[in-house]
Amino acid sequence: MTQNSAESDTEIDLAKLFKEFHAARGQKDDVNWVETAAGRLMLDDVKISVAKQALVDLLPVLKDAQEPAEELFGDPKIWAKEQQEHWQQSGTPTQDRYHLFSFKQFTQTICISAVLLCMLVTIVALIDDGWTTELSWAMFGLPLIIPAISMGIRQFWNLAVRRFSRLKAMLWTATAFAAAAIALAGLAIALPGSPGTASALWYLAPVPMYALFYYLIEKFSKRNSLAPRSTTSKTEVPSHEEWIRQLQENLRLRDDISDRRIRVIVEDTRAFAVDAEASLPTEFGTPESYAASFAPNTSFRARREALGWTVGSVLIALLLLVSIDNAQSLFSWQSVVFAALLVGAICYAVQGWRKSCRN
């Protein structure tokens, strides 16, 4: 495979990429190298397409030299760090945070989650009550409602963070979450009671419907992808205010720059453009490339992650206390699950705070 081949112009599956590295010399060490390098890039939130292309570009060198990847490119983790520094200096957008879901991704994720939750509800009912249980209308609806609300809140946040500062985006998302919680509570009140006593396996009844919906969405999306599309396109130069808006959006999407620094960058960019009496695209290029040119603030990102895990630990601890109070016992399957989640969240929080101090 060469760099100019048609295959390199598309996103190659990572598993296939690893096979390509193995085929270059037939050595497992090369596969270990590319797996470590790819893993490091993934952990640093580099776009999969960008990471793949960077690794694909190494294949011709590896094939021609017939030397171990470690000797040609150095330590894979150091290579990954140097590659990110190169992208930052050249203004290459590499981050893919706050990804907006397409209709297909949104609906199919809900369907898959609903199927898994239906299975979980059935297992819990079998453990608690055996084969025969008093069915609940709420338990029929929750497997669909919970993932729908979760996906909706996540999509809402991904949209809000593009338009507002993080504080405003958090407030708007919290408002949306509160509204969803109130609606869910109202639905639970409106659907009390039970359809009767029957087998717990009835909780699996909606699964075929979710599977059918998933299949129809897949067929619909394939048909749309095969439909002819117009090949004509116009490249429009964004206005001054539109360019600034896109710059703010791309800076927020990086998630490693504070709102205060974003304001400073935008103000300095405006002032420079006024003094130079030149257009922003002429001076700085595209908003995406200019936003990518700023060095990452790893300490800021680590603090944000640590704070998120800390807040999550507090919420899980509250849920643990509620489950213990409801069960009137320290040992129930709910309390064991929440306790395990709490330990994991605390470990991630401690790790985050330590990382923020090191940076």
Phi first, then psi: give them for residue 41, nearest 5 degrees.
-65, -40
Using DSSP's 3-state secondary structure scheme, residue 75 falls into coil
The domains of the chain are located at 7-90, 103-222, 240-288, 298-358
Looking at the DSSP assignment, which residues form a beta bridge with residue 135? 196
The three-state secondary structure class of 180 is helix
Residue 251 has pLDDT above 80, yes or no: yes
CA–CA distance, 333 with 335 (Å, rounded to integer): 6
Q: What is the pLDDT of residues 332-353, one digit of tens each?
A: 777 787 888 889 889 888 887 8
Q: 288 pLDDT band (50/70/90 cuts)?
A: confident
Instruction: Identify the band that residue 192 occupies on the pLDDT scale cut at 50, 70 and 90.
Output: low
pTM check: above 0.85: no
257 pLDDT above the threshold of 90: no
Angle (CA) 96-102-106 rounded to 5° is 105
Q: What is the pLDDT of residues 23-60, one digit of tens each?
A: 888 888 888 998 999 888 887 778 888 888 889 889 88
**Do 145 and 184 contact (CB within 8 A), yes or no?**
yes
Does residue 8 surpass a pLDDT of 50?
A: no
Q: Does pLDDT of 233 surpass 70?
A: no
Q: What is the pLDDT of residue 194?
A: 73
pLDDT in tens, 154-175: 999 989 988 888 889 989 999 9
**Residue 134: its pLDDT value, please?**
82
If residue 197 lies in a helix (H) or strand (E), which one and from where to where? strand 196-199
Instruction: Over range 234-250, report the average pLDDT.
Output: 80
Expressed in percent and rounded to 5, the helix, strand and coil fractions of the chain are 75, 5, 20
Give me the pLDDT at residue 109, please: 92
pLDDT at 231 over 80: no
Q: What is the pLDDT of residues 200-227, one digit of tens each?
A: 888 889 999 999 999 999 888 877 766 5
pLDDT at res. 99: 78
Q: Which residue has the higher pLDDT, 71 or 305?
A: 71
Q: What angle do CA 219, 221, 224 make, to 5 degrees?
A: 110
**pLDDT at site 3:** 39
Tens digits of residue pLDDT in 311-337:
888 988 888 888 888 777 777 777 787
Residue 204 · residue 118 · CB < 8 Å:
yes
pLDDT, position 111: 93
| Average pLDDT score, the chain | 82
pLDDT tens digits, 112-133: 999 999 998 899 888 877 888 8
196 pairs with which residues across the strands?
Answer: 135
Here the tokens at position 153 are: 């809140």
